[in-house]
């Protein structure tokens, strides 16, 4: 009997407890212990008269460095030495593994623009998307660029190229620099030195010719079907499609390159001390061989636009001329 009563009581208690579960209530939960749930504090951006400046949020003590952010090694983190000059060294041991890592990262982050061999003919560039052309890494100036400057181009971007610091960590940036150096070496071997390498020269020539044929086909496909009209309007479209506007303004503002405003017919002075009047011949030459005459005050960074045909070049000239007409 006693046992039956006990069991009944237990049943009642459990039914009462069960019926509490899963039911909605507007009342705050019962707290047996408050932990530190309720205490005085300041919200972000709140005022606090305790401090002289009246702000509750405090600045870190001057000189504070967040953990892992001490970047005292300028060679490693910025590619420059104590005097601010770009270094010509890679602060890592050049192992095969390191180079392969660089190759892998290069193929992920650089190849679509600068090309698999570093010739500036990546798919973005040959697809006619109107992007600023990526320079080749096989020019004299690119070969002479110090390692540190190369590193800095990845970390901080360069002119129209954005920075890759958020995507590529410090060690990988240096690995890419090392790999680009290997690419440069691979494209700059004298034929008489080739005996040292175990490669089939004829096969390499074949590959090279295939690649040239591919690029020519792309250029031909691009210009086929295009009209051969020569007008300033067409020139203006070409100015935008070829991303000239990334470096040349139309309103007199200085950019990576000189403005086109008032250019036609003006006297130009060059870094070699010579000068010329900007006529049609000069303008076309500047577009096809920008490295020959460098306008004073500017760097030799324009990529030759050799894929433009005759009527396109003339249209660009007409466009530039139209900017100087009243």
Smallest distance from the beta carbon of 257 to ligand HEC, in angstroms? 3
Hey, which residues does 275 pair with through a beta bridge?
Answer: 269
List 102, 234, 305, 318, residue binding ligand HEC (CB under 6 A): 305
Residues 188-207 touching ligand HEC, rule: CB under 6 A, are: none
Applying CB under 6 A, the span of 3-11, 40-48, 57-65, 286-294 interacting with ligand HEC comes to 286-294
Instruction: Mark residues 89-128: x for contact with ligand HEC by CB under 6 A, - for none.
Output: --------------------xx-xxx---------x----
Contact 118, 136 (CB under 8 A): yes
Cα 79 from Cα 155, distance rounded (Å)? 9
List 257, 264, 311, 314, residue binding ligand HEC (CB under 6 A): 257
| Interface with ligand HEC, residue 170, by CB under 6 A | no
Q: Of 154, 157, 316, nearest to 235 (Cα)?
A: 316
CB neighbour class for 221 (10 Å; exposed up to 12, middle 13-18, buried from 19) = exposed
Hey, which residues does 269 pair with through a beta bridge?
Answer: 275
Cα 18 from Cα 123, distance rounded (Å)? 67
Contact 130, 241 (CB under 8 A): yes
Smallest distance from the beta carbon of 240 to ligand HEC, in angstroms? 9
Question: What token pair was written down for 241?
Answer: 């499609």
| Interface with ligand HEC, residue 222, by CB under 6 A | no
**Could you say which DSSP state residue 116 is in?**
T
CB neighbour class for 46 (10 Å; exposed up to 12, middle 13-18, buried from 19) = exposed
Provide φ and ψ at 220, rounded to 5°: -65, -45
Cα 189 from Cα 181, distance rounded (Å)? 13
Smallest distance from the beta carbon of 275 to ligand HEC, in angstroms? 10
Question: What token pair was written down for 131?
Answer: 């992007």
| Interface with ligand HEC, residue 232, by CB under 6 A | no
| Interface with ligand HEC, residue 183, by CB under 6 A | no
Residues 136-155 touching ligand HEC, rule: CB under 6 A, are: 141-142, 150, 153-154
* Cβ closest to ligand HEC, residue 77 vs residue 298: 298
Applying CB under 6 A, the span of 38-46, 76-84, 189-197, 293-301 interacting with ligand HEC comes to 293-301
> Would you tell me which residues interact with ligand HEC (CB under 6 A)?
109-110, 112-114, 124, 132, 134-135, 141-142, 150, 153-154, 158-161, 164, 176, 242-244, 246-248, 256-258, 263, 268, 278, 283, 286-287, 290, 293-295, 298-302, 305, 316
């Amino acid at each position: 009997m006693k046992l039956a009563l006990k069991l009944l009581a237990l049943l009642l208690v459990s039914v009462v407890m069960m019926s509490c579960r899963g039911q909605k209530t507007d009342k705050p939960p019962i707290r047996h212990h408050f932990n530190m749930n309720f205490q005085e504090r300041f919200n972000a951006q709140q005022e606090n008269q305790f401090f002289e400046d009246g702000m509750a949020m405090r600045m870190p003590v001057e000189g504070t460095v967040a953990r892992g952010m001490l970047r005292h090694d300028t060679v490693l983190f910025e590619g420059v030495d104590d005097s601010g000059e770009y270094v010509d060294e890679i602060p890592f041991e050049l192992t095969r593994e390191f180079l392969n890592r660089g190759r892998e990262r290069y193929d992920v982050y650089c190849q679509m623009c600068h090309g698999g061999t570093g010739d500036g003919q990546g798919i973005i560039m040959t697809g006619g998307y109107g992007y600023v052309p990526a320079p080749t890494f096989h020019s004299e100036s690119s070969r002479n660029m110090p390692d540190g400057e190369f590193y800095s181009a990845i970390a901080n971007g360069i002119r129209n190229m954005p920075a890759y610091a958020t995507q590529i960590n410090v060690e990988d940036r240096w690995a890419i620099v090392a790999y680009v150096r290997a690419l440069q070496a691979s494209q700059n071997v004298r034929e008489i030195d080739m005996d040292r390498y175990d490669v089939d020269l004829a096969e390499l020539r074949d590959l090279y010719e295939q690649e040239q044929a591919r690029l020519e086909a792309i250029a031909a496909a691009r210009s086929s079907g295009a009209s051969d009209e020569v007008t300033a309007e067409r020139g203006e479209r070409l100015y935008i499609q070829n991303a000239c506007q990334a470096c040349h303004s139309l309103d007199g503002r200085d950019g990576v390159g000189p403005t086109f405003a008032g250019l036609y017919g003006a006297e130009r002075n060059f870094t070699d001390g010579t000068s010329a009047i900007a006529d049609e011949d000069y303008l076309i030459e500047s577009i096809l061989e920008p490295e020959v005459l460098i306008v004073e005050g500017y760097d030799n960074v324009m990529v030759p636009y050799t894929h433009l045909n005759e009527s396109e070049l003339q249209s660009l000239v007409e466009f530039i001329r139209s900017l100087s007409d009243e």
